[in-house]
Structure 1
Amino acid sequence: MTRLEARRRRRTPTALLPPPGEPRLLALSWLVKTIGSGLYLTTSTLFFTRVVGLPVGRVATGLSVAGIVALAGAVPLGRLADRYGPRRTYTALLGVQFATMAGLAFVRTFWAFLALILVFLLAEQGSSAARGALVATVGEGAERVRIRACLRVVTNVGVTIGAAASALVIQADSPAGYRALLWATALTYPGAALPLRRLKATAAVVRGEKGAERTGSGWAVLRDGRYAAVTAICGVLSLQAQVLSFAVPLWVLRHTEAPRALVSGIVAVNTVMVICLQIRFSRGAEDDERAARLCRRSGIALLAACALISLTAGLGGWSATALLLLFAAALTLGELWLSAASFGLSFSLAPAGLHGQYQGFFSLGRGAATALAPGLLAFLCLGAHTTTGWLALGALFAAAGTVAPWAIRRREPA
């Protein structure tokens, strides 16, 4: 294929999709699942508080406790994917999520809620690891990174569709509507499993790029210091997601005079940029050195974002609006580079045949960041010393990105 033909191909709409066959089936499965995520994320708290009658504090406590405990299942469930095959494991975990989500529609007590949400989040941790291992079986090298980038685009599209659909239920604000939405969400899990039936049944031994074969036994990831370092770096950088979802709404409403609707505008800028740019930004991330440099770029972009938002304290009107939109663009650039680096490093640094447990371990970085973010961001960015706090957070991002090239040069485990 000539360069001109390749350039023309990149301009076609289908170039934004995974290749036909198994990668596209995986994307279809993920689209169905993330539509369910959009339905659930926007209405679940309303259901548990307004319909079940649980206090907001108890719902928040239950979600936090279950989320932290569920982290312990990431590596063991990832190991199951290595042992029994990622397709089989992922499908089984989707079945568990279907059962628990449907059960949540009938809860009446806090303890029933806590038990079901814990099992649900355990299955979510495991399905993330199994899905990562499944990607490893349908692509290699640059193609594997591109598939992950496509899945990230699909995530944004699916969640947006689900959130838009849930707006009708929120407007009606009826118990029957919220309960029906949970059942609809539950059905997206078997719906996501259907396209997987057409994937080939992958064995528990996977041949990697270098032709090496390993079985899914042992706990190799727990002895891999280099992978742990990269996981920690990407985990710190992934705090940016909680900046967008947790800190930004409170900051705009409490610390600026900007229009409240700007919160939705910032989210829209983020969503559109990810959908349009993630695949392009992920090119070349299969190379470890380039992926590490992308981490460094992410840290610098996130530092710039924190500096921009710190300047908006007390501002209103067009000044605050302009700075916050620039903040949204810088934050999303950091997210795009981080995602691309994560796609490459999480696979290329893992031994062939052990992608399940390694993907499970990698998910711990983001999981820990999600659990710690509310307290950290509230202390640094929403307290008394907001400008200093934002700059301190930006410095943390920059420091994490800067050490990434050093981290990948550490000696591989024996």
Structure 2
Amino acid sequence: MLSRLLPPKGPARLLAGVTLVHTMGQGLWLALNAIYATSVLRLTPGQFSIGVGTAAGVALAVSTPAGHLADRLGPRSVQIWSFIALGPLTAALLAVHGFGMYLLVVSVQALAYSASRSARMAVVAGLVPPEQRVHVRAYLRATSNVSVSVGAVLAGVLLAVNSATAYKGAVVFNAATYLATGLLSLLLPAVAPQPARTGPALIVLRDRPYLTFVVLDGLLSMHNVLLEVVLPIWVLHHTAAPRWMVAAILVTNTVAVVLLQVRAARGTDEPAGAARASRSGALCLTLACAVFAFTGRVSWLPASALLLAGALAHVLGEIRQSAGSWGMAFGLAPDDAQGQYQGTYAMGSDLGKLVAPALLTWLAVEHGAIGWIAMAAGFGLVGAAMPAVAARAGRGRRPEPDPVAA
């Protein structure tokens, strides 16, 4: 099945191979990160949360400068060295003793991770023609979902063993995937660095239409937290549905992304089409939240049916909104500054991840159906604004008419 998900040839196939290795380690570590910190390093849950928040803040702060560095040095070079640096930085968790040392290690990790993330998107922009970038990005997401699932299965095996040695082995494995990703990146064609420009270095920070898109896209990206945080709590404590519905919803999402993400990316290569995709994705998210609002006061069978229906609407919104997001992120950025623009684009989802857990959980858990309806309205309104944002940004990039030709 995986061979059918990969692009047929060329740099896109190499990009998919790099993504496959990298995200397998991510899938493993996402499931074990908190357990390693609290069980092996003996940190308190509060200390672990501070560490996660600090790392997220560091990654957020350096995302745009890291992208600018990728423009100036060449994104492939930055990708290679950031992943190679993440290898020993991850392995350093084996030598951590105490909260202060842990905080230092995860903060430096966040620097390297932010650089790798900004560089990866700039590499895609540099190696893939504009009309194929979103298509390739969709292939990479489908591939990463398969790889993350494999990593999660490996994590399940280590959780069954439940020993400090097993969890330390996960650290070694994750470090090895970073090193392997860096080495595999050597196979990618080089992307030429961009020469220094006159005027401000970080031009993206003066691009108000693009920054508006980043903020709105970050608000839409909060739908990821619905699946990871809000719905499990809602299903377990506020519906009559069986506990296994949480797993059924996650499996439904994973399978749908793998099978449908590439198809959902059609027609999103230009900003106008991408904005319409974001709007239609937001409408699906609106429908999903409206369906979830009715699951709290019915018996287990209708609650289960409604939860699955809402999960299908959610994943359709997710894959369509993601494709639109990539199309606007690539299409609204100048080719000589893709690194800093993609780094800034990533900040939107980072901000969404920081705000969404508390906000969306408060809406759903504290306010029930009314909270779900409020979320539905919010997603719908944000999505409706996307075409206007894309049109405004497009007007700002339209070339001036040639007075001689006129």
1:51: which partner in 2?
40
- The answer to whether residue 371 in structure 2 is matched with residue 389 in structure 1 is yes
Q: Which residue of the other structure, out of 96, 100, 106, is the alignment partner of 1:117?
A: 106
Deviates most, 253-262 or 99-108 = 99-108
Q: Does 1:340 align with 2:292?
A: no
Letter in 2 for 1:282: A
Deviation (angstroms), 1:364: 0.5
Unaligned runs of 5+ in 1: 1-11, 207-212
Provide TM-score, normalisation by structure 2.
Answer: 0.94
Tell me the equivalent position of 1:25.
14
8 Å Cα contact 1:102-1:183 kept in structure 2: yes
Distance 1:282 1:356 in 2: 22
Q: How many angstroms does 1:172 deviate by?
A: 0.9
AA aligned to 1:392 is A
Secondary structure (helix, strand or coil) at the match of 1:53 reads coil
Quote the Cα distance in structure 2 between the aligned partners of 1:104 and 1:216.
42
State the distance in 2 between where 1:45 and 1:321 align.
Answer: 30
In 2, Cα distance between equivalents of 1:313 and 1:191? 46
User: What is the match of residue 79 of structure 2?
Assistant: 90
Change (3 A) 1:138 1:243: same
SS in 1 for 2:335: coil
Q: Which residue of 1 aligns with 2:163?
A: 174
Matched residue, 2:188: 199
When residues 321 and 221 of structure 1 are mapped into structure 2, their CA distance, relative to the original with a 3 A threshold, is same
Alignment of 1:4-403 (within 5 A): 16-205=5-194, 218-383=201-366, 385-403=367-385
User: Within 2, Cα distance between the matches of 1:66 and 1:189?
Assistant: 18
The one-letter code of the counterpart of 2:214 is T
Structure 2: any 5+ residue segments left out of the alignment? 400-406
Runs of 4+ displaced beyond 6 Å: 213-217
Shift of 1:315: 3.1
Instruction: Supply the distance in 2 between the matched residues of 1:116 and 1:13 (Cα, whole angstroms).
Output: 35
Verify the 8 A CA contact 2:86 2:179 in the aligned structure 1. no
Displacement of 1:216: 11
Q: Matched residues in 1 for 2:235 and 2:70: separation?
A: 43
Q: What's the TM-score once normalised by structure 1's chain length?
A: 0.92
Distance 2:317 2:17 in 1: 27
Structure 2 partner of 1:7: none
Helix, strand or coil for the counterpart of 1:353? Answer: helix
RMSD: 1.9
Change (3 A) 1:106 1:215: farther
Q: Residue 242 of structure 1: CA displacement?
A: 0.6
* Structure 1 residues 135-193: Cα deviation after superposition (integer angstroms, max 9, x where no partner): 01111123111110011111101110000011111001100100111111110011112
**Can you list the C-alpha shifts for 1:30-75, whole angstroms capped at 9, x where unaligned?**
1000000011000111111111111112211221122123200100
Q: Does the 8 Å CA contact 1:42/1:163 hold for their aligned counterparts?
A: yes
CA gap of 1:215–1:271, structure 2 versus 1, over 3 A, is: farther
Distance (Å, rounded) in 2 between the aligned partners of 1:364 and 1:88? 22
In the TM superposition, residue 15 of structure 1 has moved relative to its aligned partner by: 5.8
Report SS of the residue matched to 2:171: helix
Task: Note the C-alpha offset of 1:304.
Answer: 0.6
Alignment check: 8 A CA contact 2:5 2:143 kept: no
The alpha-carbon distance between structure 1 residues 92 and 216, as it changes in their structure 2 partners (threshold 3 A), is: farther
Between the aligned partners of 1:216 and 1:158, the Cα distance in structure 2 is: 43
Query: How many residues of Structure 1 are paired with residues of Structure 2 in the alignment?
Result: 396
Greater CA deviation, 115-124 or 369-378? 115-124
CA distance in 2: counterparts of 1:263 and 1:337, whole angstroms: 23
Q: Could you tell me which amino acid in structure 1 is paired with residue 47 of structure 2?
A: R
Letter in 2 for 1:257: A
Deviation for aligned residue 1:96: 2.1
CA shift, 1:95, in A, is 1.7
Kindly state the Cα deviation for residue 382 of structure 1 after the two structures are TM-superposed: 1.3
Q: Is the 8 A contact 2:215 2:348 kept in 1?
A: yes
3-state SS of paired residue (1:312): coil
- Secondary structure of the residue that 1:412 maps to in structure 2? helix
Match of 2:403 in 1: none
- Give the 3 Å change call, closer, same or farther, for CA 111–216 of structure 1 in structure 2: farther
The answer on whether the counterparts of 2:11 and 2:128 sit within 8 Å (CA) in structure 1 is no
Letter in 1 for 2:33: S
How far apart in 2 are the matches of 1:152 and 1:158? 10
The separation in 2 between residues aligned to 1:233 and 1:273, in whole angstroms, is 25
The answer as to 2:399 corresponding to 1:412 is: no
